[in-house]
Amino acid sequence: MSRRLIRTLGTSFSARNIRKDALSTHFSPAPHLSPSESPANPYRLHTIVVPNPSPTPPQPPTSTIDPSEVAKFSRLAESWWDPDGPSRLLHLMNGARVGWIRETVTRNMPERLVGRGLEGVRVLDVGCGGGFLSEALARLGAHVVGVDAARENVQVATAHALKDPSLRRADGTCLIDYRNTTAESLLDQGEKFDVVCAMEILEHVADAAHFIQMCSGLLKPSSLLLVSTISRTPLSYLVTVLLAEHLLRFVEPGTHDYEKYCTPEELTGMMAKAGVMEVERRGVMWNPIAGRWEVGDGSAWTTGANYFMAGKSDELGV
C-alpha cells in the first residue's frame, strides 16, 4: 500500500499508466529464450536479442573489483534501459548528475572547453553500466571512454548508443569508446583524462581507497575526479537500504551494501592521500513529490545520503 502511494506521489500519472507493450523494452526477451519459445511473429515489438557468448563474466585482473558485484550488475544488463526497470531512479538521477558535471567542469576548468557543453574534454566513465551517463556526456560534446568490468554491460551500452544517429559516426561505429576493461588496465596502459567520473560505483568496489587512488592516477594535471556515492549514516541506511530496497522495491534488495558506504570526510581523506584536493561537495536528494532529484548545497544536512564530490589533481599530475 505504502509502495503504491509513494509511487503515485513520485511518478506522474502517465508514468504509472504506461503499458509495457507500448514501450520499447529494448533487451527483452532475455537471451535464454530459445527460438522455439519465441513468438510466431518474427517482427515483434523492438526486440533485439543480445546474445550472451560467455555465461561467466571474465575475471577482472586486480583487486578493486568485487566479483560478486560484477555478477550482480551483469544480471541487470538487460534491464538498464527499461524505463520502469530497476534502473529507474538512476535514469531519473541522470539529469541532476550531468547538470552538476557540466557546471563543475565549467567552473573548474573553463580553459579546456572549446565550444558548447563539454566539447574539448576527454572523459572517463568508470563503471558505465548501460551507458546512460556516457551517452549524455557524449551528446554534450565530450570525448567519452566508458569502461565496465561486465562484458554484457558494454554490449548493451554499445547497442543502445548505436541506435541514436547523434552517437554514431558516418561509418556506423559508435562515437563513445566503450571498453570491456577496468580502471586498473587503463592505468597500466598509461591513459589520461581531463575528467574521471566514478558515479554510483564507489559503494560497489572492494577497496574504496585503492579505487580512488587508481582513478586519481588516470587524471591529467589539474584535472577533475568526480564522484557520486552514498554516505554511511543512519539516514542513508533508512533511505537506500530499508526504503529503496526492502519497502518500496525501487531497486533490487542487495543492490547496496551499507558497510561499503563512505562518508564525505572519508572520501575527502582518500582523495587527499591520492593527491586530489576536494573542490566541491553537494548533497543530492530524491524529492518524491516532484518526482525528481534535487542537488542541494554541501552542508552536512544535505549530504546525509547521496552526495557528489569533485576533486582536482595538482598541477604536476598525480
Residues found near another protein in the complex (CB under 8 A): 11-15, 17-18, 22-24, 35, 38, 42-51, 53, 83, 91-92, 94-95, 98-99, 102, 116-117, 135-140, 155, 158-159, 162-165, 168, 170-172, 174, 290-292
Q: Which helix (H) or strand (E) holds 271?
A: helix 264-273
Least CB distance to another protein at residue 286 (A): 14
Q: How many residues does the chain have?
A: 318
- Quote the longest CA-to-CA distance of the chain: 62
Output 168 or 210, the one with its CB closest to another protein: 168
C-alpha cell at 289: 513529490
Nearer to another protein, 87 or 303 (CB): 87
Q: Is 148 annotated as a binding residue?
A: yes
CA 246 – CA 307 distance, rounded (Å):
22
Q: In this complex, which beta carbon is closest to another protein, that of residue 119 or of residue 297?
A: 119
The rounded distance, in Å, linking the Cα atoms of 119 and 309 is 22
Compute the least distance from the CB of residue 241 to another protein, in Å: 24
Question: Based on CB atoms, which residue is closest to another protein, 211 or 308?
Answer: 308
CA angle 122, 295, 18 (to 5 degrees): 90
Q: Collapsing DSSP states into helix, strand and coil, what is residue 251?
A: coil
Residue owning grid cell 549514516: 233
User: Least distance from C-beta 313 to another protein, angstroms?
Assistant: 24
Q: Is 204 annotated as a binding residue?
A: yes
Residue 22 in contact with residue 35, Cβ under 8 Å? Answer: no
199 annotated ligand binder: yes
Residues flagged as binding site for S-adenosyl-L-methionine: 97, 127, 148, 199
Residues flagged as binding site for Mg(2+): 200, 203-204
